[in-house]
Amino acid sequence: MNDCPNLPGLEKVKWCGGISGLAAFIGLFLAFSFVFILLCAILDKLCGLPITWQGSVIGVVLLLLLVFLLRTSLYDHRWETTSDGLRIKSIIGGRFLPWTDVPRAETKRNLWWMTSCYTLQSKKFTVIIPARDIYICASIWQHLNSVGLSAEIKLSSAAELFWEPIPDTVQDEVGWEDEKKVGSSMACFIQLLLLIFGTIVTVAFVCFGLWQVSAVVAVGLIVIMLVRVLRSPIIDRVLVGRDTIAIGLATGQGQRATLKMPWGELVSTKWVNYGIDLRWIHGVRVVIPWDPQDPQSTRLIVAIIHRLRGIPRPVLLPFPVELKRKFINQCSETY
């Protein structure tokens, strides 16, 4: 993989490891406190050496402070890759590690983080990054690959799919329409289920003599759920363009609208069950469905993945081998 091209979406990636460092520090504090107090109690019981609680607390604090200062690098909780280097933020400050100052990089399991980690060693300090987020891992690998240090960095199988070659037959503009009307059929099916459920609940409560309250509650719930289903937009057509994606929406009431969103304003993407979840800056979120049996739907999904690779933001998606195989087979059948 050393000859893989640089992907614009991996040039600058931010990742926050949550509260791992702070949680580890709190856990370490509690563990040392328990052990220190237990030793004090044993010494007081066996040897008659009285140790005050104030002295015990001071001893624990000093010991933990020493450990904390010695293991500062393990409390890093935020990492950001740039074209120049890696920015690291920890509980007590931040550091910057240029890519050219990394003489050695490797992947090994770290007992502190209880997972595989990337270890970047420089002349001044060592940086340990948990290999949990595929975007930050792929970004680090890409930058280290540009300076010839990616040999010892192991990518996960999901991260390797970022560089899975996309066939040249993919089109720049692809349109898709839900000819089966799966969304509308599903909405009607849900409405029918709600009506049946509401009827059964109402009859059951009436049989128990609570028909006044039960009828009002059941009918109210049915009306609320039906209104929500009828007003929920269903994606029935999509057009992928060079700069934008147009999404056709339809409701159970027969209303239709077109949502046109620019690729450059995407903030996050992810694979969901047979579909792609897209989120934009203004809070707009849509899930583009994928029907593996529909060749045009497969072409649409591949075109979206191809378009995402050109966006200079970490919104690119892995290209699954199953999807690639479907695309090649369906294209060969078509032509």
* pLDDT tens for the 335 residues of the chain, in order: 667 888 999 999 998 875 555 555 566 666 666 776 777 777 667 766 565 655 666 666 666 665 665 554 456 778 999 999 999 887 667 889 999 898 888 888 876 666 788 889 888 888 888 888 899 999 999 999 988 887 788 888 888 999 998 888 888 889 998 766 555 555 556 666 666 766 666 666 666 555 555 666 666 666 666 665 555 567 888 999 989 999 988 765 556 788 899 998 999 999 988 789 999 988 888 889 888 888 899 999 999 999 999 898 889 999 988 888 888 887 666 54
Q: Which residues contact 170 (CB under 8 A, 6 or more apart)?
A: 299, 302, 303, 306, 327
Predicted pLDDT of residue 308 = 93
DSSP, residue by residue, 63-94: HHHHHHHHTGGGG--EEEE-SSEEEEEETTEE
3-state secondary structure of 143: helix
Quote the pLDDT of residue 99. Answer: 93
Q: Indicate the DSSP class of residue 247.
A: E
- Report the C-alpha gap between 262 and 313 in whole angstroms: 13
Query: How many CB atoms sit inside 10 A of residue 335's CB?
Result: 6
Res 136: pLDDT: 92
In the numeric block, the tokens 């090994």 are attached to 108
Q: pTM above the 0.85 mark?
A: no
Nearest in space to 144 (alpha carbons), one of 71, 81, 70: 81
8 Å CB contact between 237 and 176: yes
CA distances, 15 to each of 10, 86, 193 (Å): 12, 11, 43
Q: DSSP H helical segments within 47-164, as ranges?
A: 53-70, 134-146, 157-160
CA separation, residue 326 to residues 129, 301, 321, 322, 332 (Å)? 36, 11, 9, 6, 10
CA–CA distance, 258 with 246 (Å, rounded to integer): 7
Q: How far apart are CA 183 and CA 108, in angstroms?
A: 47
Q: State the Cα–Cα distance between residues 324 and 299, nearest whole angstrom.
A: 10
| Per-residue confidence (pLDDT) for residue 223, from 0 to 100 | 66
Question: Which alpha helices (DSSP H) does 179-320 contain, by range?
Answer: 182-207, 211-231, 295-308
Residues 6+ apart with CB under 8 A from 208: none
CA distances (Å), origin 59, targets 43, 62, 66, 126: 15, 5, 11, 29
The yes/no answer on whether domain 1-18+77-163 falls in CATH 2.30.29 is yes
Report the sign of the C-alpha dihedral through residues 32, 35, 38, 39, in that order: negative
Give the pairing of strands 266-272 and 244-250. Answer: unpaired
The Cα–Cα gap between 120 and 101 comes to 10
Sheet harboring 126-130: ordered strands across? 104-110, 115-121, 126-130
